[in-house]
A = this chain, B = another copy of it.
């Protein structure tokens, strides 16, 4: 593990990112992920800027985006990511029933992914072109 950089000990470069996280999320709380990335300020800034842009409302709403984030994290088995993004999803409106269905879909998708791989199923002609 690397040290977690608190605001008080952070460089001005890191503080400006922390300030933007706090302003964007409207909370003084900075979670450990950012305190770890702060050991490498360019990655901290780039990752935060990307995350802010990607998770903003657009063609998909912010809650749907958090659900997608949890789905990827559960598939990868990333404990930190599951915990932090499930909390974020809950803060944006995810109910316990929604979490239950989300996990059911994720479990099902991981099951059929390995079945499709194991049976080496050829892609149907009609699925070749998406848009």
A90 to chain B minimum Cβ distance, whole angstroms, is 7
Chain A interface bracket (under 10, 10 to 19, 20 to 34, 35 or more): 35 or more
With contacts A40-B103, A42-B53, A59-B95 known, is A110 near B113, CB below 8 A?
Answer: yes
A51 to B50, CA, bound (A): 12
Cβ 8 A contact of A112, one of B1, B40, B81, B120: B81
Residues of B within 8 A of A104 (CB): 40, 42-43, 46, 54
CB–CB A103/B118 < 8 A: yes
Q: How many copies does the complex hold?
A: 6
A117 to chain B minimum Cβ distance, whole angstroms, is 4
A128 to B2, CA, bound (A): 9
A15 to chain B minimum Cβ distance, whole angstroms, is 18
A115 to B130, CA, bound (A): 15
Residues of B within 8 A of A120 (CB): 1-2, 79, 82-83, 130
> Which A positions have Cβ atoms within 8 angstroms of B?
1-4, 29, 31-33, 36-37, 39-40, 42-43, 46-47, 50-51, 53-55, 58-60, 64-65, 67-87, 90, 95-124, 126-131
